[in-house]
Amino acid sequence: MRRLEQQGFELVQWPKDSSMPRETLLKDVRGAEGIICMLSDKIDKQVFDAAGPQLKVVSTMSVGYDHIDLRTAKEHGVKIGYTPDVLTDATADLTVLLTLAAARQMKSGVRAAETGEWREWRPDWLCGYQFKGKTLGVVGMGRIGQAVASRLKAFGIDRVIYWGRNEKPGLKESLNAHFVTFDELTSTSDFIVACCALTPETKDVFNYDAFKNMKKNAIFVNTARGGVVDQDGLVKALQENLIAGAGLDVTNPEPLPTDHPLFKLDNCVILPHIGSATIEARETMGDMCVDNVLAALKNESIPFGLKY
Ligand SMILES: O=CC(=O)O
């Protein structure tokens, strides 16, 4: 706010600690030259039309941009700014946290400690899985997927495989990571992490059949987008113990209603979409958003822009 105000811009803001209601967004966006938005704001044709032809830039405080209608942005000649790289470490750390939490039954353990279910030490109580000698499957081997793989290798992961749009050059050398089919990834991995963008190819890719194809000891972790999982399929797979557990930082919808069946499952740990929530990442993301807006309003090319 300070940086934009110092430049003399008129700021129209939603003052509350919540998303701007849709009607307010459609009203307040009128005449704007730049929009700073969050991943929870749907920036679709209606918003572009409501804003008007002077709109130069939409700057999202996120690395994901599935909430923005890129085709309409292109038609309107609007630049799109986002915040890649700076949240890679934070999100990879949280992915590891969820993988460990799901693999080591953390939800049941915390509850037991807090509620008196914790009795004496028992040799077979709350046993989970360790990483040594295991296979990690990454769906979406971009910046975050690679950072997760290198972290989990330090925990003893032996084989890294990945699936995505294409094989990535250099990953065999840097991470000894191998490009495989989705079917091979789901059927042979012990830990499966989703770090991909939500696209038509990845929507609902983790459905009941995919979970059924996984090993019984598989741990599934999603820090990408809720939309890559068919959630009913995941509930069924966890209820039927087709896989050992899941860790989710993203769901569909968000927030997930507190009476959702996923919350009732001991083998599912859920966090409220906090992958990039470190002070360091969020401060830098905020600055990048402003850098993008300032450049666009000066008709310069934006420093963190999407090429689309
Ligand atoms: O999900 C978080 C982001 O896209 O930045």
Numbered ranges of CATH 3.40.50.720 in the chain: 2-84+278-297, 88-270
Per the prediction, the chain carries an average pLDDT of: 97
Cβ–Cβ under 8 Å, residues 183 and 200: no
**Ligand 1 atom 2: the closest Cα is on which residue?**
62
Q: Which atom of ligand 1 is nearest to the CA of 83?
A: 5
**Cβ-proximal residues to 45 (8 Å cutoff; 6+ apart), any chain:** 69, 72
Residue 1: pLDDT above 90? no
Enter the CATH code of domain 2-84+278-297.
3.40.50.720
Ligand 1: does its nearest atom lie under 6 Å from the Cβ of 32? no
3-state secondary structure of 174: helix
What tens digit of pLDDT does each residue of 240-254 get? 999 999 999 999 999
Q: What is the pLDDT, as a whole number, of residue 139? A: 98
Q: Which atom of ligand 1 is nearest to the CA of 62?
A: 5
Residues pairing with 137 in the sheet:
161, 192
Q: What is the pLDDT, as a whole number, of residue 308? A: 87
pTM (whole model) above 0.80: yes
Residue 178: pLDDT above 90? yes
HSE, side-chain direction, 13 A CA sphere, residue 174: 11
Ligand 1 mean position, distance from CA 255 (Å): 15
Give the H/E segment covering residue 110. helix 106-115
What tens digit of pLDDT does each residue of 95-140 get? 999 999 999 999 999 999 999 999 999 999 999 999 999 999 999 9
Sign for the pseudo-dihedral over CA of 81, 247, 88, 140: negative
Supply the Cα-derived Rg of the chain in whole angstroms: 21
Q: Return d(Cα 146, Cα 169) in angstroms, integer.
A: 12
Q: Which atom of ligand 1 is nearest to the CA of 285?
A: 5
* Nearest one of 232, 230, 223, 229 to 275, comparing CA atoms: 223
Ligand 1: does its nearest atom lie under 6 Å from the Cβ of 61? no
273 is catalytic: yes
Q: What is the pLDDT, as a whole number, of residue 242? A: 98
Ligand 1 mean position, distance from CA 115 (Å): 34
| CATH architecture assignment, domain 88-270 | 3-Layer(aba) Sandwich (3.40)
Query: Residue 38 gets which letter from DSSP?
Result: -
Ligand 1: does its nearest atom lie under 6 Å from the Cβ of 64? yes
Q: Which atom of ligand 1 is nearest to the CA of 87?
A: 5
Residue 208: pLDDT above 90? yes
Ligand 1: does its nearest atom lie under 6 Å from the Cβ of 276? yes
Ligand 1: does its nearest atom lie under 6 Å from the Cβ of 196? no
- Distances in Å between the Cα of 138 and the Cα atoms of 217, 224, 248 are 16, 11, 15
Cβ–Cβ under 8 Å, residues 186 and 158: no
Ligand 1 mean position, distance from CA 133 (Å): 31
Q: Which of 67, 76, 178, 273 is catalytic?
A: 273
* Chain position carrying tokens 């059924």: 212
* Nearest one of 160, 166, 171, 157 to 137, comparing CA atoms: 160
First to last CA, the chain: 28
Ligand 1: does its nearest atom lie under 6 Å from the Cβ of 62? yes
Residue type, 117: E
Q: What is the pLDDT, as a whole number, of residue 173? A: 96
Give the H/E segment covering residue 221. strand 219-222
What tens digit of pLDDT does each residue of 23-50 get? 999 999 999 999 999 999 999 999 999 9
3-state secondary structure of 266: coil
**Ligand 1 atom 4: the closest Cα is on which residue?**
64
Q: Which atom of ligand 1 is nearest to the CA of 82?
A: 5
Residue 74: pLDDT above 90? yes
Ligand 1: does its nearest atom lie under 6 Å from the Cβ of 87? yes
Ligand 1: does its nearest atom lie under 6 Å from the Cβ of 88? no
Q: Return d(Cα 183, Cα 212) in angstroms, integer.
A: 11
